[in-house]
A and B are shown apart, each in its own frame.
Chain A
Amino acid sequence: MSFPWANEYTPSHPVMKWVDEKLPLPRFVYNAVGAGYPVPRNLNYFWNFGVLAGFCLVLQIVTGVILAMHYAPNALVAFDSTEHIMRDVNWGWMLRYAHANGASAFFVVVYLHIFRGFFFGSYKAPREMIWLLGVVIFLLMMATAFMGYVLPWGQMSFWGAKVITGLFGAIPVIGEPLQIWLLGGYAPDNASLNRFFSLHFLLPFVIAAVVILHIWALHIPGSSNPTGVEVKTESDTVPFHPYYTAKDGFGLGVFLILYCAMLFFLPNALGHPDNYIPANPMSTPAHIVPEWYFWPFYAILRAFTADFLFFPAKLMGVLAMFSAILVWFFLPWLDNSPVRSGHFRPLFRKFFYVLMLDVLVLGYCGGAPAAEPYVMISQIATAYYFLHFLVILPIVSSIEKPEPLPYSITEAVLGSDDKAALKPAS
């Protein structure tokens, strides 16, 4: 992998030299996030979000492991044990708020990371595998977040679990046995809580493993960039360290300021008040809503209110909700424009902005009660969502005339690139 001009690792300290000979781990790190990884010189701040996502994952694992030392996964005491963390464990309130708001921050960051990919065509060859692994990570994140939300065993925990596992019941024939098997009973109970805790502890480490594959796959072609033009010569790149370590450090600072402002001053703003009521199977909350990061998909689920052909409404909703994410897997093949970056795709760009608006509308409707006008609005927005990915994107990418691309990254940054004209890429 990498480019011929990448810096070579030359340990100066004898200890590092000794380690590097026995196990080339220092070399590996140097080539992955050190001066040995050449990166396009023109990345904008949207390229910060990958590193921030990695930071969030570590943050969630660290706070989560400590919370697990005090939490009791038993339906009788789970709610009380979270309150024990909030009141009696030293700095427990901070850990819990850090973990709960950390999940939200993680999703903010990952959504921006994904939308960066949509706009700049990061999913296109030769980066399909990075993208596919990314979608796998996203699915794992959703599962993890869902099961984590069940653990405090409040009203929304319980009823959220009931609604989401109930979706499996919509599958013909095997649906109901499957749902009972997943829950370990007919409704969420101690058995469900225990398995959710176990899986919620496990999955972040699975995510970490997939992240390693994601970055491994990234280092084969190297990062793309806002022009979408591939690296041609050495003058197109800078070593990751110190250039992007410095830029990522600044980005991390900005992120932490926003995150800590939430954590210390508005820790419950993104949560639902009902989750401060202990789970009660006998009392259904007026509005069952998931956490905000599921709202767009929840809106799609609820948009299918009428049976269609042989498909009952509920099954359609479930199919649509899962398909809304699964279509991302096919993105590299649905969009076959040779131009990556939305900067040079006038028609694509307009539809991209409509999609962003559409997702916000879906999110808003997903958090609102299942009543008019929200249902009708979410139906129109759902229609656009599927049209965008499955119909508009394939058609636009064949009919659109892209704007002229810069010759190289260097030209895009400096205005001219004499060297690149003389020395073609190896």
Chain B
Amino acid sequence: MTRLIGILVGLFFTVAVLWAFVTGAANYIAEPPAATAEHEFHRHPKELHLSSDGPFGTFDKQQLQRGFQVYKEVCSACHSLNHVAFRDLAALGYSEPEVKAIAAGFQVPGVDPNTGEETLRPGTPTDYFPKPYPNDIAARAANNNAVPPDLSLMAKARHNGPAYIYSLLTGFQDQPAELLKEFPEAKTPTGLHYNPYFANLNLAMAPPLTTTDQVSYGDGTKATVDQMAQDVSAFLLWTAEPKLEKRRQTGWPVLGFLLFATVLAYLAKQQVWADKKGKKG
């Protein structure tokens, strides 16, 4: 009885799903999905090699400092860095006085101790990076109706994050002529900027890095657009995964210990089973 009902129920689902298949296939043949500009012209990120790549990789602190400088002098005008506090910058190799000085260079929201009114005061190491806009409405108003996203986790919030950020920053270009020929209606709207690495090809961010030496590096590195883009991508990987080095440094001894313990466990198991070996062993 169970099996009879089972067969009926099974056939019901099978027929229903095959019916969906047939309807879908007929639709597909009648109206094959149209090609889209996003589908044809979107590109996967370029290769980016960072010193933190691979299971033994570590951050290049010099590069992180340069990347931080790019963030501070360029990106911070529009993008927040909500999850990072000034004290965290010590991990980039800054000394305590340096961190204090960096913090003091930012104005953060505070309260006037005499009147209780909201004011701005210089930052201290325990403060977090201030937001560039008071709220999303202000952010939209200033950016062609798009909110510049927080960058703290950007490197983990996109597939292949650091390479994506690097490609996006160096990928601004004119719309290819073939695109306009094939998809005349996909012309980049005014106020947006064509970039084949962005999911829908047109984004509201104007190219932020445009000229060599836009930022003047203190360590003598030449600040080409490509270099600045690499550096800020490395920095944003650090802001997204500040515990990356510690994680790997913990992982190796853990794996080493487990390997050793597992070999011992294997030998113990062999010993225990020695008298029960069958014809196979």
Contacts and interface: CB of A to CB of B under 8 A. Distances in A.
A334 B2 contact: yes
Interface in B226-277: 240, 242-243, 246-248, 250-252, 254-255, 258-259, 261-262, 265-266, 268-269, 271-273, 276
Contacts of B199: 286
A250 B250 CA distance: 23
Interface stretch (A61-69, A115-123, A134-142, A385-393): A385-393
Interface string A388-415: 0111001100000000000000001111
Interface string B1-42: 011001101110111111111011100100001000000000
A256 interface: yes
A376 B157 contact: no
Interface stretch (A10-18, A304-312, A339-347, A348-356): A304-312
Contacts of A306: 19-20, 23-24
A90 to B, nearest CB: 11
B222 interface: no
A94 B247 contact: yes
Interface stretch (A28-36, A163-171, A178-186, A272-280): A272-280
The interface size bin for chain B is 35 or more
A313 B251 CA distance: 48
B258 A253 contact: yes
Interface residues of A, number: 69
B7 to A, nearest CB: 5
B134 to A, nearest CB: 17
B181 interface: no
B21 A379 contact: yes
Contact of A256 (B33, B150, B152, B258): B258
Given A42-B278, A238-B276, A376-B21, A260 B251 contact: yes
Contact of A334 (B6, B11, B240, B278): B6
B124 to A, nearest CB: 17
Chain B interface secondary structure, helix, strand, loop or mixed?
Answer: helix
Contacts of A414: 278-279
Contacts of B149: 277
A87 B158 contact: no
A379 B157 CA distance: 31
Contact of B13 (A320, A336, A376, A413): A320
A316 interface: yes
B23 A391 contact: no
A143 interface: no
B58 to A, nearest CB: 14
Given A93-B247, A238-B276, A276-B157, A264 B3 contact: no
Contacts of B21: 376, 379-380, 383
A277 B153 contact: yes
A303 B16 CA distance: 10
21 contacts: A87-B243, A93-B246, A94-B247, A97-B247, A242-B272, A246-B273, A250-B265, A250-B269, A260-B251, A264-B248, A276-B157, A305-B24, A316-B20, A323-B13, A334-B3, A379-B17, A380-B21, A386-B13, A390-B13, A391-B7, A415-B279
Interface of B: 2-3, 6-7, 9-11, 13-21, 23-25, 28, 33, 55, 82-83, 88, 149-150, 152-153, 156-159, 161, 199, 240, 242-243, 246-248, 250-252, 254-255, 258-259, 261-262, 265-266, 268-269, 271-273, 276, 278-280
Given A390-B6, A391-B7, 4 more contacts: A246-B273, A389-B10, A394-B7, A395-B7
Q: When A and B form their complex, which 4 residue pairs have the shortest distance between CB atoms, in order from nearest? A: A390-B10, A264-B251, A253-B262, A413-B278
